[in-house]
A and B are shown apart, each in its own frame.
Chain A
Amino acid sequence: MTTTAPAGAAAPPQPPSATPAAPRRSRSLTRGGGLFVLPFLVVFALFLVWPVVQGLWMSLTDASLSLRGTEFVGFANYTEAFGDPDVWSSLGNTVFFTVISCVPLVLVALAMALLVHSGLAGQWVWRLAYFAPYLLPVTVVTLIWTWLYQPDIGLGNQLLTSLGMEPVGWLSDESVAMWSVAALTVWWTVGFNFLLYLAALQSLPVTYDEAAALDGAGAWRRLWSVTLPQLRHTTVLVAMLQVLASLKVFDQIYILTKGGPNGSTRPILEYVYDVGFTGYRLGYASAVSYIFFAIVIVVSVLQLRFFRQEG
């Protein structure tokens, strides 16, 4: 399916290798190494490059899931997509989700990593507790949270009402539902970013921190002026991976709300799925996914530029 294209294609580019290999060595790489990576290349070409090309072609046709023949329609699908309010609303939902999920996913992960790194007792308990939700499959996570969000008997509303507050329509209120999805996502996936930050923190040289302490810097000053600047590269990595992951949101929403209430949580990828697989219109779905693909690439490039300038 073409919707997987953005992820693979927009992965952060590898830094160019620092030292060019000696000629003899590189020839040996093409001989032996080439054979080793061949299986990967075959799979990569067959399941990524080819579908991407095929999807592009399909987006210019009226391909469908029926036995009817396929006709070339030029840019008709793209014209239709640009005038389709559902494309824009679902794209808006995706962007909204990305914003409200990425910020806490970076900040909370950083806070958790700093807490654990500060030398709390029982390190392994914290590491396990923070990372454990990430190990659960999406169906399990969604099932747990569906019950937490139950309007009637769910823990969320039980807590609110016991505190004397009004119950909330976690999944039924159009203005709340996307926040509920984001909360679930943060709980579920923050452990991965936490681990990246923790690894980075543990590899920082302690000398700078010690020097700053000797110079009389307090804990906050050291955090702001010594630790965080050193974590900049990790933050760039975490933020980039997170934005790409959030843009691809589909599974938890599809299981939790099916895009409801009233389309308020439907991400663009669900719209592509609905149009392409439930509605058989493969050509149109390809066009919508290519528009999204282009947007993801633009976002990635802009992000890369932004962080480079910062550096």
Chain B
Amino acid sequence: MNSAPPARGLPGARYPDRSPGIGRRELLRYGTAGAAALLAAGPLTGCASPARAGEASALKVWDLFQGGDGMLMDEMIAAVSKGSDGFDVDRTILDWGPSYYTKLAMSAAGGRASDVAVLHLSRLAGYAPGGLLDPIDLDVLAEFGVGEKDFAPAVWKRAQHKGTVYAVPLDVHPFIVFYDKDVADKAGLLDSSGHLAPMGSPEAFLDAGKKLAEITGTSGVLFGHVTDTAQSWRQFAALYAQTGASFTLPDGGPPKIDTDAAVKVVTFMKQLFDGRTNPNNLDYNGAMAAFMDGRGGMIMAGEWELPTFRKSGIKHLGAAPFPQVFARPAVYADSHSFVLPHQDDPDPARRRQAHRYIAEIVKQSLTWASAGHIPAYLPVQARPEYAKLDPQSSYAAAGEIAVLDPPNWFAGAGGNFQNRMCQPLQSALLGNTSAEKAVRQMVREADTLLRQPNPVA
């Protein structure tokens, strides 16, 4: 870079107080040189800090696991990094939510994404068709001992787009209920083996809520949904699937939904959270705090809250699949899976390593199960150590009746669809609108999304 032009035209007398040491030009010249040196050093130090990770051999992995999940993932990565053929993993943890998916899409669109990334299976329809994911090579995966037979069919099916497999599921994480065994026992809700007895009907569940509230003296069933962009949808989707009706989002619209069944479900939700025996105005943290405080006998939450509840000191914590109150069993769930984000020019050796990494990590999922997740890899589920995990094994069956979001590019975890469904549902639960109106708005919102030009088609 050129320094300042020579200032010949300017008589020195104009700068009477100019010091003889460093003048303006010198300052500029040294300053420029200094800045250049700093700029040159920047990238070097940038590379230097994660020394091991910066090497060509390190496998770049992106995930969204923080807190307890994040530590378990660390443990699993440590387990596969041991030994002579252990992996050298460069892990990047990003904040979960819409921003994670934006970043993942951007990195894949740029063609220089990480080697492996975590994706909710419910988001696959927004990534695979747009070319943001590269297909999994099943032959290579089979070489490392993992294949279709190792996964529940319902989950494996959602890992595909037009018959091609794009993801390898790590877990199934359902929306379940946690309960205080002592309170539930006093309310007479436990069976002879000390587990939550089946409900069987909406009336039985409403009754159970009232009984639990009598014992705690405050609330029965807790549910945090205010200002949340997923909770009400999770609950609705579970109950709606229990009615046996289906909700599909065909491209171009209109959405296919059984409005009678939907109104029945929302009406039931309103009855359950009537604002008296069951508070209807809690947000997520408020509901969590209330349950840990003993101000409710049962909470509807994701199984991923297990470590938090364990730490809270609830003496006898119980967990069960989402209660069946309508015609058939169903639970809302999603699945963390491993994908290969699109790379413009993938190195075949690295790709092979990526497949081996995925295979090795899913085999480690017993560790993962300790946080509450149901391992998607069936051989781990079959192990006696898993059966011993309590209460995890008590809801392992949830994986078989799991219902994910209807597939479309805008649906899925952290997507706009869940948010838009939650808004009218929240309104209904708060008593601001009727069940019929809420369902009408849900249909309208889904239709609006379907009419948008598909950006990934």
Whether A28 contacts B130 by the Cβ 8 Å rule is no
Q: A32-B24, A261-B426, A280-B105 are in contact. Are A67 and B455 (CB under 8 A)?
A: no
Contacts A65-B455, A152-B282, A262-B427 known; A31 to B102 CB distance under 8 Å? no
Please tell me if the beta carbons of B415 and A67 are within 8 angstroms of each other in the complex. Answer: no
For B10, the chain A residues whose CB sits under 8 A away are: 28
A86 to B419, CA, bound (A): 14
B residues in contact with A172, CB < 8 Å: 226-227, 281, 426, 430
In the assembled complex, B28 has its CB within 8 A of some CB on chain A: yes
Contact call A66/B109, Cβ cutoff below 8 A: yes
B152 to chain A, nearest CB (A): 29
Within A223-268, the residues touching B (CB, 8 Å) are 256-263
Closest to A257 in B: B227
Is B423 a contact partner of A68 (Cβ separation < 8 A)? Answer: no
Given A151-B282, A153-B286, A280-B126; A62-B453 close (CB under 8 Å) = yes
Q: Cβ of B448: which chain A residues have Cβ within 8 Å of it?
A: 86
- Interface: B416 (CB within 8 A): yes
- Interface check B308, CB cutoff 8 A: no
Query: Once bound together, how far apart are the Cα atoms of A71 and B432, in whole Å?
Result: 43
Flag if A169 contacts B281 (CB, 8 Å). Answer: yes
Cα separation A284 to B290 with both chains bound (whole Å): 42
How far is A150 from B288 in the complex, measured between Cα atoms in Å? Answer: 13
Cα distance A169–B10 when bound, in Å?
A: 71
- Which residues of B sit under 8 angstroms from A260, Cβ to Cβ? 226-227, 229, 422-423, 426
Whether B226 lies near A151 (C-beta < 8 A) is yes
Closest to A39 in B: B35
Is the CB of A171 closer than 8 A to any CB of chain B? yes
Most A-side CB within 10 Å, residue of B99, B105, B279 = B105
Q: In the complex, what distance in Å separates the CA atom of A15 from the CA atom of B416?
A: 45
Whether A174 contacts B427 by the Cβ 8 Å rule is: yes
**What is the interface size of chain A, counting residues whose CB is below 8 A from a CB of the partner?**
38
A280 to B132, CA, bound (A): 12
A210 within 8 A of B: no
Report chain A residues within 8 Å CB of B175.
Answer: none
B423 touches A262 (CB 8 A): yes
Does A152 contact B281, Cβ atoms closer than 8 Å?
A: yes
B130:A67 contact, CB within 8 angstroms: yes
Contact A258 B229 (CB under 8 A): yes
| A65-B105 contact, Cβ under 8 Å, with A153-B286, A256-B227 | yes
B450 to chain A, nearest CB (A): 12
Report chain A residues within 8 Å CB of B126: 280
A64 at the interface (CB under 8 A from B): yes
B290 lies within 8 A of A152 (CB): yes
CB of A277 within 8 Å of the partner chain: yes
Q: Do A67 and B281 touch across chains, with their CB atoms under 8 A apart?
A: no
Q: What are 7 contact pairs spanning A and B, CB under 8 A? A: A62-B455, A86-B448, A169-B281, A171-B227, A258-B229, A277-B99, A284-B452
Q: A68-B130, A152-B286, A280-B126 are in contact. List 4 more A-B contacts (CB 8 A).
A: A86-B448, A150-B286, A257-B227, A282-B455
Report B's interface with A, CB cutoff 8 A: 4-5, 7, 10, 24, 28, 98-99, 101-102, 105-106, 108-109, 126, 130-132, 226-229, 279, 281-283, 285-286, 289-290, 342, 409-410, 414-416, 419, 422-424, 426-427, 430, 432, 448, 452-453, 455-457
